[in-house]
Amino acid sequence: MAMLKTETPSLAHSGLDQYGAAELVHAFVDEQLHAVQAVRAASASIAAAIEAAAPRLAAGGRLIYVGAGTSGRLGVLDSVELYPTFSWPHSRALAILAGGRDAMFTAVEGAEDDLRQGGADLNALAPGADDVVLLLAASGATPYVLGALRAARERGALTIGIANNAGAPLTREADVGITLDTGAEIISGSTRLKAGTAQKIVLNTISSALMVRQHKVYGNLMVDLKPTNAKLVQRSVRLTMHATGADEASARAVLEQCRFHVKVAIVALLRQASVAQAGALLEQANGSVRAALVK
Q: Hey, which residues are catalytic here?
A: 81, 112
**Beta-bridge partners for 217:** 222
CA distance 4 to 58: 38
Q: Cβ contacts of residue 168 below 8 Å, gap of 6+?
A: 137, 139, 140, 141, 161, 177, 179
CA distance 20 to 4: 30
Q: Do residues 113 and 145 lie in contact, with contact meaning Cβ atoms separated by under 8 Å?
A: no
Pairing of strands 158-163, 132-137: parallel
Q: How many Cα atoms are found within 13 Å in the side-chain-facing hemisphere of 188?
A: 13
CA distance 188 to 11: 10
Query: Nearest-CA neighbor of 66 among 53, 79, 57?
Result: 79
Angle between helices 248-257 and 262-271 (to 10 degrees): 120
CA distance 62 to 93: 6
Q: Do residues 268 and 278 lie in contact, with contact meaning Cβ atoms separated by under 8 Å?
A: yes
